[in-house]
Chains A and B, each alone.
Chain A
């Protein structure tokens, strides 16, 4: 061996030895059996840059605070959401949560196939796992909380058909093609569209799930298909920008979208998106943490699927919905909407 190989082997060996030695003798057996004194929930959403998951975090932290005050059992939320959507990183975060002593994991799966093994490993090591928003149905998770995605897609199409007088060309805005929940919503849109013979789906359009990319896609498609009169959006990504308010004519084009966060409300007011089907995303965190508490601390039975209802946001209830969002911790609700009846 040359000196370089020897030195290289030594260097790698040293680093691995540091790791190996660290692993030995790292645990100190306690005299009493393990009794969790509190509840530590690792919250792993799809992406920390998506505002819907930030509201889920707010809800989870509110539930943790309430449960701690009510029961005396300290409930803690550990935010382990990756900055961008990546199923592999989510699987790594699950393992990290278990290694750092989480009692439970609450996850919205970017890629169910990638995280199923990690969820099963966590459950095998005694950690309860619950999913929300996007499920991993083949895994050992104890419960899922979220909307029925196919029915959500159907509801989007039914609302859009009403707004369009049940005729005209429709484009579907579908976000990330890898997300199974979004694919089911698209299936629902297409299924419902079959009930309207005078409505034609021009195509389904996928894009990077950022507001700018989504808005750019809408503008590109509208240019390529000027006959489009309706947009069935299975997520509200482009409505987080203001650009479509000036680029699309509300008298000519109608949008129905899933989600109804503060930035999207001007679209309702201007009539470009007369209906938003809002997921109460705050409840993803709030309700899920309560169900996890029921399961882990109170040992209660929790249903495997907990359905979430959509909220229909229109001009009629814009004020009520705006105040609800503010109550849930959103700080960017336009003041004008808070004053509405």
Chain B
């Protein structure tokens, strides 16, 4: 594995050889403060604080303890669980967006992967827990992989904008899920639910598995994008396809690869979601593609390509789910949910563009001074 510098590293704060310890620390601090992830963490923390202060409290039925309506482990884990399905898909979507592409079919792939898993396991009948888990995972990821390959090959082979291709496959894949499942809601074996809802030593009713899968996916996505040659190629393609072509990069292979990753993350999210909720239907994840793209964009991915981060996309998903949670926790009219999420998405993009313009001006001013 080749070590690479991140594509979105700020050259102004890049470490320089021979700096003093305090200068290095200051540079690291500046780098940290100017990172978009820091801003997202601060917004999430601030929103969490506001919710904790304003949500009110209730008496727990079992323990008799007074519990804050938001600031309790059940609600926080539930929020993380709700975010995990979007966040896992958002990591794949971000990698697609970095190439200036888009994948509108992730919600449909989620549905097809879920119903395929449920139907295969139902057809195979009762099995051991490990076999059930392994076969279910392979089917879900396999369906995601196949859909990703189809998307990628069509985008490259037909030379049609990915918006159009994935808009088409969004309906096709949803239709296949509909036809094959006969629109039934199909139950999954308890063995899968037992895994997805394993308390892992926590109290009863606390389910940390989706949170952990979300963290692992974000970490793997981040390592892929920043630590591997393949990740570097993704940024290069998105930043300047022509330069990449003249550099000898295999652009078709890169494009197919990003749609495969997007499909696989949708398959993984479907496996997790179907296992957690115990059933799958062709209507699952309807409209989720918009939340996923919003999470990636709020996380700083540029639809123009060349910019994005797996961790930021995960934080974007958490922020969006937290906004939804806050509307309910604070008893606002929930019909405002879409308006607020839409505004948050637009504001995030506008702030990001303003920040980019500011940085460009600062760099230009610095260059003039030198």
Whether A12 pairs with B71 at a CB distance below 8 angstroms is: no
Digit string of A77-97 for contact with B (CB within 8 Å is 1, else 0)?
A: 010101111111001110110
Q: Mark B121-142, 1 if CB is under 8 A from A, else 0.
A: 0000000000000000000000
**Do A178 and B37 have beta carbons less than 8 Å apart?**
no
Q: Is B204 an interface residue (CB 8 A)?
A: yes
Interface check B22, CB cutoff 8 A: no
Residue-wise, chain A 37-73 has the 8 Å CB interface mask toward B (1 for contact) of 0001000000010000000000000000000000000
Pick the contact of A8 from B75, B77, B309, B337 — CB < 8 Å? B309
| Most chain A beta-carbon neighbours within 10 Å: one of B55, B205, B311 | B311
- Judged by a CB distance under 8 angstroms, whether A327 is at the interface is no
Q: Is the CB of A30 within 8 A of B65?
A: yes
Could you tell me if A12 and B60 are in contact, using CB atoms closer than 8 angstroms?
no
Residues in chain A near residue B116, CB distance under 8 A: none
Q: Are B45 and A3 in contact (CB under 8 A)?
A: no
Contacts of B284 in A (CB 8 A): 87-88
Is A334 an interface residue, CB under 8 A from the partner?
no
Q: Show the binding face of A for B, using Cβ within 8 Å.
A: 1-5, 7-12, 14-16, 18-20, 22-24, 26-30, 32-34, 36, 40, 48, 78, 80, 82-88, 91-93, 95-96, 98-101, 103, 111-118, 121, 124-127, 176-178, 180, 206
- Report the 3 A-B pairs with minimum CB-CB distance, sorted nearest first: A101-B58, A113-B279, A11-B37
A residues in contact with B276, CB < 8 Å: 117
| CA A100 to CA B313, docked complex, whole Å | 28
Q: How far is the CA of A164 from the CA of B218 in the complex (A)?
A: 62
Separation in Å of the B189 CB from the closest CB of chain A? 13
The CA-CA distance from A28 to B64 in the complex, in Å, is 9
Cβ contact within 8 Å between B277 and A87: yes
A5, A23, A33, A103: the one contacting B77 at CB < 8 Å is: A23
Q: Could you tell me which residues of chain B, from 258 to 307, have a CB within 8 Å of some CB in chain A?
A: 273, 276-287
Q: How far is the CB of B86 from chain A (nearest CB, A)?
A: 11
The residue among A20, A33, A83, A113 with the most chain B CB atoms within 10 A of its own CB is A113
Q: B residues within 8 A CB of A29? A: 63-66
Residues from chain B with a CB closer than 8 A to the CB of A10 are 32, 37
Contact B286 A86 (CB under 8 A): yes
Is there an interface contact between B335 and A48, defined as CB atoms closer than 8 Å? yes
Residue pair A178, B205 in contact (C-beta under 8 Å) = no
A14 touches B222 (CB 8 A): no
Interface centre among B8, B59, B223 (most CB of A within 10 A): B59
User: Which residues of B are found within 8 Å of A26, using beta-carbon distances?
Assistant: 67-68, 71-73
Shortest beta-carbon distance from A95 to chain B in Å: 5
B69's closest neighbor in chain A, by CB? A100
CB distance from A225 to the nearest CB of B (A): 22
Rounded to whole angstroms, the CA-CA distance of A123 and B71 in the bound complex is 22
**Chain B CB within 10 Å, residue with most, of A40, A91, A112, A178:** A178
Interface residues of B in 102-148 (CB under 8 A from A): none
Given known A11-B38, A18-B45, A117-B277, contact A178–B185 (CB-CB < 8 A): yes
Q: How far is the CA of A93 from the CA of B338 in the complex (A)?
A: 17
A30 and B59 contact, Cβ closer than 8 Å, known pairs A113-B281, A114-B279 = yes
What is the bound-complex CA distance between A18 and B9, given in angstroms? 26
List the B side residues contacting A126 at CB < 8 Å.
61-62
**Count of chain A to chain B residue pairs whose CB atoms are closer than 8 Å in the complex:** 222
Determine if A127 and B44 form an interchain contact, defined as CB atoms under 8 angstroms apart. Answer: no
Could you tell me the distance in whole angstroms from the C-beta of A155 to the nearest C-beta in chain B? 24
Chain B residues contacting A28 (CB-CB under 8 Å) are 65-66
Query: Known contacts A87-B185, A178-B183; is A23 also within 8 Å of B318 by CB?
Result: no
Expressed in whole angstroms, the Cα–Cα distance for A9 and B215 within the complex equals 10
Query: In the complex, how many angstroms separate the beta carbon of A216 from the nearest chain B beta carbon?
Result: 17
- For A125, list chain B residues within 8 Å (CB): 61-62, 204-205
The answer to whether residues A8 and B37 also contact, given A30-B59, A111-B283, A124-B204 and a CB cut-off of 8 A, is yes
Whether A99 pairs with B335 at a CB distance below 8 angstroms is no
Q: Determine whether the beta carbon of A96 is less than 8 Å from that of B75.
A: yes
Cross-chain pairs A/B with CB under 8 angstroms, 18 sampled: A4-B309, A5-B226, A7-B32, A12-B311, A16-B211, A19-B79, A20-B76, A23-B73, A27-B63, A27-B66, A27-B72, A30-B65, A34-B60, A36-B61, A48-B334, A87-B281, A126-B62, A178-B283
How distant is B198 from chain A, measured CB to nearest CB, in Å? 13
Q: Are B64 and A9 in contact (CB under 8 A)?
A: no
- B229 CB–A CB distance under 8 Å: no
Complex Cα gap A24–B71 (Å):
9
Given contacts A11-B38, A27-B65, contact A4 B226 (CB under 8 A): yes
Contact assessment for B222 and A124 in the assembled complex, using a CB-CB cutoff below 8 Å = no
Which of B8, B186, B311, B329 meets A11, CB within 8 Å? B311
Contacts of A100 in B (CB 8 A): 55, 58, 69, 75, 329
List B193-245 residues whose CB lies under 8 Å from chain A.
193, 197, 204-205, 211, 215, 218-219, 222-223, 226-227
Query: Inside 8 A of A84's CB, which chain B residues have their CB?
Result: 286-287
> Chain B residue with minimal CB distance to A28?
B66
Min distance, Cβ B291 to any Cβ of chain A, angstroms: 11
A24: nearest chain-B partner, CB-CB: B73
Q: A3-B15, A117-B277 are in contact. Are A22 and B74 (CB under 8 A)?
A: no
